[in-house]
Structure 1
Amino acid sequence: MKSIPVDQLQNKTSAGLQIKVFGPGDRQQYEREIAHRDDHYIFFVLTNGSGQLMVDLQDIVVVAGQLYYILPSQVHYRIKTDGAEGWFLAVDTSIIAPDLKAVFENVLNVQLPLTLKDYELKQYSKLLTLLHEEFIARQHDEYYRLVIHALAQSFLAMAASSYQSVDIIGSKHTRPVELVRQFKILLGAHSHIVKSPSAYASRLNVSTGYLNEAVKKVTGSTVSYWIQQEIFSEAKRLLFYSDADVKEIAHKLGYSDYAYFIRLFRKAAGVSPLKFRMLNSKA
């Protein structure tokens, strides 16, 4: 069975992170990239030009002065670049503190590029320049990993702060927002086995009604909607990027009755799984 390839950071570096400066002259920008997942986080800061990506079947355009990141679970590939210049940072999940992960994984849809203020862009550029210099120069230093990890963690904290500052309801510390963040983390980890709102509410030690009210207040949609979105987003990824048959996909997502899975998919997507695959064929 053809599966979605996973790009592993350990195959490129033993340092736990990788940083690159990219520009329009880089040949890699013009090479075709296949759809894949990473086992690590990726961050971009663009200083000039623009780039277009496909992330979980959504077009994302990043322009100069913006920060963007890709989560380990997301299927993505580069579509094109137009004079893109900036920074690329790949970071092992073990380096990112849980409270920072909670910020990056907070969004229930695909995250959007974040426009930085001029002074923020300068600060990011200074820090990434230093990280890049130390990443290259200190490779044989006794404290190499400590130095580059400390600098990377400073970047991660700044990035989390930047994204946190544009919280969708403007109140970062309210109970509903924190509850939705916890729900999102649980959903990402357990959607293939836990499919009822009451089960998520139980794990979060709240009533089903309270969880649903909080999720609807913060996101505009119900708990059931987001459970289905998580399940069928993964189903669409597998249909689009792998050659697994519908029964295999249903089983992977926790449905032993694949006919029932087909009915649910049709209700969520408007077409059957096979029709979705045909309509979205890359051929």
Structure 2
Amino acid sequence: MKTIPVHQLKDRGVPSGIDMHHFVPGELPAKVGDLGAHRDDHYLFFLLEDGHAELMIDFHKMDFYPNSLYYILPGQVHHRIKGDIAHGWYIAVDPMLISPEYRNVFETQLILQQPYVLDEKHMQQCQSLLNLLSQKHKEDQQSTFQIQILHSLLQSFVGMVACCYNQQQTGGIQLTRPLQLSQQFKKLLSENIHTVKSPSAYAAKLNVSESYLNEALKKATGFSVSYWITQEVVMEAKRLLYYSELNVKQIAHNLGYDDHTYFSRLFKKSTDETPLGFRTQHRK
């Protein structure tokens, strides 16, 4: 392949921003697909209930055994090695549904996250929650408050995962310079996205050249500095469109854009939807 493909959640036609499956031995290839090495623009969460599975995550082979949690970040290159005998849950989640506090837990791990083994009590809690989430996911999503209920249940599950990983130690694994810069950049980005959009400005804050920061980000995440800036802008815009009553002009101003038409073009180029189209679609 000339480039590593990026799979987008919007292509699955899931207006709730959630796609999930419960798979049993032999079903994983049919449900998830043997997609080859690829990236996703969304989070993936796995809960393995029984059996054994193997994934390659950014050149690291990960083995999964019963009662294990795992997540894959947007942008991480991965492909399935073995999963025919696996039994459990697969959940794809739009990044806009992951709160900044939870994202900070997940993203500071970067490619170093390891499977988290649950004890019996927490395993039962996760299974009960995912069973309820799955039932609601299969119901008519046009019903009153259905999307909000789905998102509330999802937040509970993601919060439990974040709590587990927040307690987990990395075991002394040393971060490479590109990974360290990536962490520092993402932290700065979340803190300054409303006022700073320039790659060179972030490079200056990190005391490196713009070209070096760009190279480091590409090595660590596969994407450029500009890509992550746009993603952060669009993600915050989606949150404001979904959760607030601000109009598009106010949201553009809130994000540091004096020209709301330019902001709308940027949003549409990234999402294939206008800001108002996104609000209408997701706040039914």
TM-score relative to the length of structure 2: 0.62
- Stretch of structure 1 that moved more, 16-25 or 27-36: 27-36
Partner amino acid, structure 2, of 1:63:
Y
From 28, 37, 42, the counterpart of 1:35: 37
What is the CA distance between 1:10 and its match in structure 2? 1.2
For residues 15-46 of structure 1, give each alpha carbon's deviation from its aligned partner in whole angstroms, at most 9, with x where no partner exists: 11111101113152695322111111000000
Partner amino acid, structure 2, of 1:11:
D
Q: Does the 8 Å contact 2:26/2:84 carry over to 1?
A: no
Matched, 1:75 2:81: no
From 125, 145, 148, the counterpart of 2:147: 145
- Count of aligned pairs between the two proteins: 207
Question: 2: CA distance between counterparts of 1:188 and 1:50?
Answer: 38
Partner amino acid, structure 2, of 1:6:
V
Question: 1: CA distance between counterparts of 2:18 and 2:135?
Answer: 14
Matched, 1:11 2:17: no
Q: Does the 8 Å contact 1:40/1:90 carry over to 2?
A: yes
Partner amino acid, structure 2, of 1:156:
V
1:23-172 to 2 correspondences below 5 Å: 23-26=24-27, 27-28=29-30, 32-168=34-170
Change in 2 beyond 3 A, CA 1:188/1:233: farther
Question: 1: CA distance between counterparts of 2:30 and 2:141?
Answer: 24
Q: Does the 8 Å contact 1:56/1:110 carry over to 2?
A: no
Aligned partner of residue 86 in structure 2, secondary structure: strand
Question: 2: CA distance between counterparts of 1:31 and 1:138?
Answer: 25
Question: 1: CA distance between counterparts of 2:189 and 2:19?
Answer: 26
Q: Does the 8 Å contact 1:8/1:38 carry over to 2?
A: yes
Aligned partner of residue 112 in structure 2, secondary structure: coil
Question: 2: CA distance between counterparts of 1:188 and 1:5?
Answer: 25
What is the CA distance between 1:184 and its match in structure 2? 5.9
For residues 36-72 of structure 1, give each alpha carbon's deviation from its aligned partner in whole angstroms, at most 9, with x where no partner exists: 1111100000000111111111111111110000000
Partner of 1:245: none
TM-score relative to the length of structure 1: 0.62
Question: 2: CA distance between counterparts of 1:197 and 1:143?
Answer: 43
Aligned partner of residue 18 in structure 1, secondary structure: strand
What is the CA distance between 1:95 and its match in structure 2? 0.6
Change in 2 beyond 3 A, CA 1:109/1:182: closer
Question: 1: CA distance between counterparts of 2:80 and 2:40?
Answer: 13
Which runs of 5 or more residues in structure 2 are unaligned? 173-179, 191-198, 228-284
For residues 171-215 of structure 1, give each alpha carbon's deviation from its aligned partner in whole angstroms, at most 9, with x where no partner exists: xxxxxxxx99962624899xxx5799974269xxxxxxxxxxxxx
What is the CA distance between 1:166 and its match in structure 2? 1.5
Q: Does the 8 Å contact 2:48/2:87 carry over to 1?
A: yes
Question: 2: CA distance between counterparts of 1:30 and 1:8?
Answer: 14
Percent identity of equivalent pairs: 34
1:219-230 to 2 correspondences below 5 Å: none
What is the CA distance between 1:8 and its match in structure 2? 1.1
Which runs of 5 or more residues in structure 1 are unaligned? 171-178, 203-223, 239-248, 253-283
Q: Does the 8 Å contact 2:46/2:69 carry over to 1?
A: yes
Partner of 1:218: none
Change in 2 beyond 3 A, CA 1:197/1:169: farther
Question: 1: CA distance between counterparts of 2:201 and 2:56?
Answer: 28
Change in 2 beyond 3 A, CA 1:91/1:185: same
Partner amino acid, structure 2, of 1:19:
M
Q: Does the 8 Å contact 2:54/2:61 carry over to 1?
A: yes
RMSD: 3.7
Change in 2 beyond 3 A, CA 1:181/1:38: closer
For residues 101-132 of structure 1, give each alpha carbon's deviation from its aligned partner in whole angstroms, at most 9, with x where no partner exists: 00000114431111111111100000000000
